Amino acid sequence: MHTLKRLMNVFSTVLEIDDETTIKNLEYNTIPKWDSVGHMQLIAAIETEFDILMETEQIIDMNCFDMACSILGDHGIDNITRK
């Protein structure tokens, strides 16, 4: 499956949101599901899906969907096309 789609699925499952546009425009700590607890769940789910281990700074930096894409890029998972 396409990387972007896989990442979208992770966000969608953890944050319980189906709408892709909503997810793309979301920011950390702006909805109850994506609080600091939700954030750790999201990190764990992304790490499992892509078999990576983020750095602590990347966990702090990952404040939106685009940032998550770029962090995946840093880990060599970069066949993501963004619009």
Which residues are near another protein by CB under 8 A?
Answer: 29, 35-37, 40, 44, 47, 53-57, 59-60, 63
- Cβ–Cβ under 8 Å, residues 22 and 66: no
Q: How far is the CB of 37 from another protein (least distance, A)?
A: 5
Decide: helix, strand or coil at residue 26. Answer: coil
Q: In this structure, is the dihedral angle defined by the CA atoms of residues 50, 53, 59 and 61, taken in order, positive or negative?
A: negative
Query: Which CB sits closer to another protein, 25 or 29?
Result: 29
Angle in degrees, 0-180, between the axes of helices 36-50 and 3-15, rounded to the nearest 10: 150
Q: How far is the CB of 53 from another protein (least distance, A)?
A: 6
Q: How far is the CB of 29 from another protein (least distance, A)?
A: 4
